[in-house]
Structure formats: structure tokens, C-alpha cells
Amino acid sequence: MSVLELTAEDFDEMTAAGTVLVDFWAVWCGPCKMQAPIVDAFAEKRTDVRVCKVNVDEQPALAARFGIMSIPTLMVFKDGQAARRQVGLSSLEEIEELCK
């Protein structure tokens, strides 16, 4: 499954149902660049989880809404509610655990 880029306009709709992993990132962020292929691999492996990204430079209101202070930050939403959060570079195994 491909990773979807979210904006403030579609965020609530795209995270409303099921389990959704959201990667808050920025182009200039070295650890975010390292996180990207891991998130992509997770998206390919777990088709039961919608995987999305939010560029914090392009969507500062979303970053502020969720108190994103450091990137990369991964958040899991379950049926529209923020359920879990992990800050910093995460392994595939850590992402699997986060989405349980």
C-alpha cells in the first residue's frame, strides 16, 4: 500500500476510521530521510494499516495541533483518536509494536 501525503484539509477524514500511522517529517531532516524507507517497508507489509505522512513545513497547523516538537514523530490514530506516539528514528519492529 502506498504512503499518502496528508494536508489540514484531508487529515480528519483520512484518520477517521481504522488504524492509521502518521509520519510527521520535513525535507531537511536527516533522521526523517532515514525513517522514510522504514515507513515505506511497513506500508508494504501491513496493508491493514493506512500509512500517511505530514510535512511539518507545509502543514504547520497540523504540527501545532498535535504538539509536534521534534521530528520524525510517528503517531497512531485509531478510529480518529490519537492512540500512541513515538519520537525519533524508529525501526520496523518498533513501528510494528507502536501499531498494535
Contact between 15 and 66 (Cβ < 8 Å) = no
- Residue 29 bears catalytic tag: yes
DSSP string over 35-63: HHHHHHHHHHH-TTSEEEEEETTT-HHHH
Helix intervals (H) in the chain: 11-14, 30-45, 60-65, 92-98
Rounded to the nearest angstrom, the gap between the alpha carbon of residue 74 and the centroid of all alpha carbons in its chain is: 5
- Residue 32 bears catalytic tag: yes
Exactly one of 6, 22, 32, 74 is catalytic; which is it? 32
Exactly one of 29, 54, 62, 68 is catalytic; which is it? 29
Active site members: 29, 32
